[in-house]
Amino acid sequence: MPLVETDAIVLHVFDYSETSRILRLATRDAGLQSALARGARRSKSRFGSALDLFAEGAAQLHLKDGRDLQTLSAFDVTRSRSELGEDMGRFAGASALAELVLRFSGADDVSVALFDVLADALDRLAAAQDEEASEATLSGAWRLVAELGFAPTIDSCAACHAPIDIAGELPFSHTAGGVLCERCARLYPGGRRLPLEARRAIGEWAQGGRLAQSDPRATRAHQRLLREFLQQHLADGRPLRAFDAWEQGALVAR
């Protein structure tokens, strides 16, 4: 069994047997992995309290070909990100980002860049003020979408690729994967219309920029747009539970 040492982020944890835990890990060098942490529930576990949700650390994994469940032998925490557990908005946002990675990447999608974007998005969310949590989550999600190769087209027509330079609203089609010129819009009925401000925000976020979004109605519109986009481009028809909880939580909070 080859031993792999790699940075890893805990995306999901559940108890297994009286003494152990099973983790879903995003790793920097070995894609997405499920791993058994033997003895992790014992009070004197060698893992200590390291295996908390969203924690990042140096993991030692024994990988076996053809196995779905690998063995975790060590996890030395470098960032606990405990702030994410202290606020509902941050926790729900981090869960939505984790779900995005869990659902849309696999063990074969080894991407250092995707790992780094996830790590940075979680760091920013952990450092966000309570009222910035929604925006930090939106920005992290669009960056992950871009890294997964599905960034929406926002400055040219997604169908005919003609450059678009209109300050007002533009038709946006999830099917086409971005904004449309008025001519192509007729071929893609049922989309939304996006104001310039919203297009700017998405473009900025997808590139890792920061853009304060203080209008709650705009935040809700962004959440809805992102959900529809994910459903169209990435999902397999199964509900995105953590994403839904985040979206509904943000509604309840206001």
Question: Judged by CB, which is closer to Zn ion: 101, or 164?
Answer: 164
Options 89-97, 122-130, 179-187, 239-247: segment touching Zn ion (CB under 5 A): 179-187
Report d(CA 218, CA 230) in Å as an integer: 18
Q: Taking the complex as a whole, how short is the minimal distance between the CB of residue 184 and Zn ion, in angstroms?
A: 3
Rule CB under 5 A: say whether 160 interacts with Zn ion: yes
Question: Judged by CB, which is closer to Zn ion: 61, or 159?
Answer: 159
Other CB atoms within 10 Å distance of the CB of residue 73: 16
Options 46-54, 60-68, 78-86, 151-159: segment touching Zn ion (CB under 5 A): 151-159
* Number of residues located near Zn ion, criterion CB under 5 A: 5
> What is the Rg, in whole angstroms, of the alpha carbon atoms belonging to the chain?
20
Question: Judged by CB, which is closer to Zn ion: 100, or 184?
Answer: 184
Please, are residues 63 and 1 in contact by the beta-carbon 8 Å criterion? Answer: yes
Rule CB under 5 A: say whether 127 interacts with Zn ion: no
Options 25-33, 79-87, 169-177, 181-189: segment touching Zn ion (CB under 5 A): 181-189
Options 2-10, 87-95, 156-164, 165-173: segment touching Zn ion (CB under 5 A): 156-164
Q: Taking the complex as a whole, how short is the minimal distance between the CB of residue 156 and Zn ion, in angstroms?
A: 8
Closest CA to 198 of 181, 182, 178: 178
Question: Judged by CB, which is closer to Zn ion: 156, or 232?
Answer: 156
Please, are residues 102 and 65 in contact by the beta-carbon 8 Å criterion? Answer: no
Question: Judged by CB, which is closer to Zn ion: 9, or 157?
Answer: 157
Q: Taking the complex as a whole, how short is the minimal distance between the CB of residue 89 and Zn ion, in angstroms?
A: 38
Closest CA to 229 of 104, 133, 124, 89: 104
Other CB atoms within 10 Å distance of the CB of residue 130: 12
Query: Which residues, 6 or more positions from 248, have their beta carbon under 8 angstroms from its beta carbon?
Result: none
Read off the DSSP letter of residue 151.
P
Interface residue with Zn ion among 148, 159, 179, 201 (CB under 5 A) is: 159
Interface residue with Zn ion among 181, 202, 240, 250 (CB under 5 A) is: 181
Closest CA to 198 of 185, 181, 179: 179
Report d(CA 166, CA 164) in Å as an integer: 6
Closest CA to 63 of 14, 131, 110, 102: 110
Q: Taking the complex as a whole, how short is the minimal distance between the CB of residue 189 and Zn ion, in angstroms?
A: 14
Q: Taking the complex as a whole, how short is the minimal distance between the CB of residue 162 and Zn ion, in angstroms?
A: 5
Options 22-30, 59-67, 89-97, 178-186: segment touching Zn ion (CB under 5 A): 178-186
Rule CB under 5 A: say whether 179 interacts with Zn ion: no
237 burial level (CB within 10 Å; 0-12, 13-18, 19+) = exposed
- The site for Zn ion (CB under 5 A) is made up of 157, 159-160, 181, 184
